[in-house]
Structure 1
């Protein structure tokens, strides 16, 4: 199992648009990628511009395929102007 956590900080003015885009990205990942078993999107109730992702893939190769997918590239390109900060961490289960 390969786990990815991401914390996004987006422009406050783009919070609603980012929410829509990231929820669509989660759905695309779960439906189009057999090796993606979880893609949770969590929103900070006090700061709508702060978003936390929790993703589970079969292995690192599956995550690399995710990063190479057309739907990820489209998402990344679309949200890039809104992102103020992005922190990505990866984890493995031993």
Structure 2
């Protein structure tokens, strides 16, 4: 991770049964577009665990809060939210951290 990536986002998504493959497809598209088109996005990991097919975690690293705010305005962000919203069993848990 870049030394300039100081703003970290951890987003946990609880999915409905049978939705993991479709959700992962959208998450990987969002991650790829973020890394390719957002200079302030330094890392975007899509994480799963073999113990729980209904849990997906996104680990994202940005230069700062402003870079994350820019991410939420990018053309690929709304389609990700719109497509994955019906796949969720509960609202996502999103936490913000600062790298020290």
What TM-score bracket applies, with the shorter chain setting the length? over 0.9
Regions of 4+ moved over 6 Å: none
2:72 is paired with a residue whose SS is helix
Distance in 2 between the 1:19 and 1:12 partners?
A: 13
TM-score of the aligned structures, taking structure 2 as reference length:
0.89
Q: Is the counterpart of residue 10 in structure 1 residue 15 in structure 2?
A: yes
Q: Is the counterpart of residue 84 in structure 1 residue 82 in structure 2?
A: no
Distance in 2 between the 1:23 and 1:58 partners?
A: 20
For structure 1, the residue ranges without an aligned partner over 5 or more in a row are: none
Distance in 2 between the 1:93 and 1:22 partners?
A: 24
Deviation for aligned residue 1:8:
0.5
TM-score of the aligned structures, taking structure 1 as reference length:
0.94
For structure 2, the residue ranges without an aligned partner over 5 or more in a row are: 1-5
Q: For the aligned residues, what is the CA RMSD?
A: 0.9
Deviation for aligned residue 1:6:
0.6
- Matched residue, 1:23: 28
1:7 is paired with a residue whose SS is strand
Larger helix proportion, structure 1 or 2? 1
Distance in 2 between the 1:33 and 1:12 partners?
A: 32
